[in-house]
Amino acid sequence: MTPAIEVQALRKSYHGFQALAGVDLRIEPGEFFGLLGPNGAGKSTLINVLAGLVRRDSGAARVLGFDVEQDYRLTRRALGVVPQEIVYDPFFSVREILRLQSGYFGLGRNDDWIDELLAELDLSDKANTNMRALSGGMKRRVLIAQALVHRPQVVILDEPTAGVDVELRQSLWRFVRRLNGQGHTIVLTTHYLEEAEALCDRIGILRKGQLIACDSKAALLARNPLKTLTVVFAQPVVVVPELLKPLVRSHTGEALTLQYDSRTWRVSEILLALQALDVDILDLKVQEPDLEDVFVSLLGERE
Ligand SMILES: Nc1ncnc2c1ncn2[C@@H]1O[C@H](COP(=O)(O)OP(=O)(O)OP(=O)(O)O)[C@@H](O)[C@H]1O
């Protein structure tokens, strides 16, 4: 099957600074893919190359098999990009903006879809409002509607929830999930790792212009075998059993937090050692590693 996005040995420098230092990435149709990385990692540069806004130095970049430069018009039709920066024309109303955008794609009568988009993005009552009279979060919703006005197969969202309130964030994700359910490929960049963990099937991590990890969410999470066990005792514990001392992360009277490698330790072994203390256990909590732990340890490994 033709990949939704295919990038091979992609390079881009700005005045000698390598923003993309040879990236290979393949995203299949229908995937919900998360592109993560610290500030300045190259995420927006990669997106801008795909959107035809930045010229690559070398390498291949294709959307649904179309070269982003040679087949620019076909790429534009296949792709909808929600940009990170809020740029808008202050002289038009929301509906006018969306009609104009439809016009660029030769879509004459597009009001049914525009109305659906406005309803989904909770903008129906703002359809005739001038862009400059909208709040920041509302402008962001218009950008999302603009990116979707031509029903693109592949949708890229560059930090769409930065500065967006909780309610909109949730309704936005319901909508994006539905688009994904209908077969649209979704690529999301975000700094909210719990968002990526909740939504994406596969995640790529960029660092200094290189893809340092790209795997299913489950496989990435499995890379970090460290679990955290917090135990609350009925009375303060003075001495921790010798066997468990190397695992102690914090110990404040009644509360003891241990971190253990789930490949070499079993909880039952730890509990057995704790029973030797002969103090009642009031509460127990085991915390699985999350994407943030994996992200931090992957970035740390490469320092
Ligand atoms: N037009 C430009 N001119 C010069 N340098 C640039 C330009 N655009 C990006 N860069 C540099 O390229 C690097 C990658 O930037 P990019 O915006 O792609 O990162 P990012 O991963 O999207 O970061 P963020 O999470 O902060 O949005 C940064 O060091 C940035 O300063």
Conformation bin of residue 8: beta by default, left when phi > 0, alpha when psi is -120 to 50 = beta
Mean pLDDT of the chain: 91
Looking at the structure, do residues 10 and 104 belong to the same domain, yes or no? yes
**Residues facing residue 119 across a β-bridge:** none
What confidence score (pLDDT) does residue 171 get? 83
Tell me the pTM: 0.85
User: Which of 170, 203, 221 is the last residue in one of the domains?
Assistant: 221
Same domain assignment for residues 155 and 34: yes
Cβ atoms < 10 Å from Cβ of 214: 19
Ligand 1 pocket, 42 CB below 6 A?
yes
- 26 and 106 in a common domain: yes
170/274 same-domain check:
no
**145 with 266, same domain?**
no
Given a contact cutoff of 8 angstroms between Cβ atoms, the answer to whether 94 and 128 are in contact is yes
Spacing, Cα 209 to ligand 1 middle (Å): 10
- 201 neighbors 4 (Cβ within 8 angstroms): no
Mean predicted confidence (pLDDT) in 9-19:
96
Q: Is 39 in the pocket of ligand 1 (CB under 6 A)?
A: yes
Shared-domain flag, residues 215 and 286? no
* Stretch among 64-68, 151-155, 234-238 having the lowest mean pLDDT: 234-238
215 token code pair? 């795997």
Binning pLDDT at 50, 70 and 90, where does residue 262 land?
confident
Distance 56 CA to ligand 1 centre (A): 14
Q: Is the CB of 29 under 6 A from ligand 1?
A: no
Instruction: Tell me the pLDDT tens digit for each residue of 68-126.
Output: 999 999 999 999 999 888 888 888 999 999 999 999 888 888 999 999 999 988 899 99
Number of domains the chain is built from: 2
Per-residue pLDDT averaged across 174-198, rounded? 91
Provide the edge-to-edge strand list for the sheet that holds 248-252: 248-252, 255-261, 226-233, 281-287
> Per-residue DSSP letters for 16-60?
TEEEEEEEEEEE-TT-EEEEE--TTSSHHHHHHHHTTSS--SEEE
| Ligand 1 within 6 A of CB of 45 | yes
Q: How far is the CA of 42 from the centre of ligand 1 (A)?
A: 6
> What is the rounded CA–CA span in Å between residue 134 and residue 49?
30
> Can you tell me the ipTM of this complex?
0.96
C-alpha span between 256 and 69 (Å, rounded):
58
> Once rounded to an integer, what is the mean pLDDT over residues 14-36?
96
Same domain for 131 and 164, yes or no, is yes
Token output for 48: 């801008």
Cα(63)–Cα(215) distance, integer angstroms: 20
Residue nearest to atom 6 of ligand 1 (CA): 14
Residue 252, strand partner residues: 255
Buried b / exposed e over 271-284, threshold 16 CB at 10 Å, is eebbeebebeeeee
Q: Which amino acid is at 27?
A: I
Q: What is the CATH number of the domain that holds 46?
A: 3.40.50.300
Is residue 303 over pLDDT 70? no
Q: Closest residue (by CA) to atom 12 of ligand 1?
A: 19
298 or 202, which is more confident?
202
Q: Give the pLDDT confidence of 158-173 residue by residue, as tens digits.
A: 988 877 788 888 888 8
Which domain covers residue 122, as residue numbers?
5-221
CATH code of the domain covering residue 253: 3.30.70
Cα of 69 vs centre of ligand 1, distance in Å, is 21
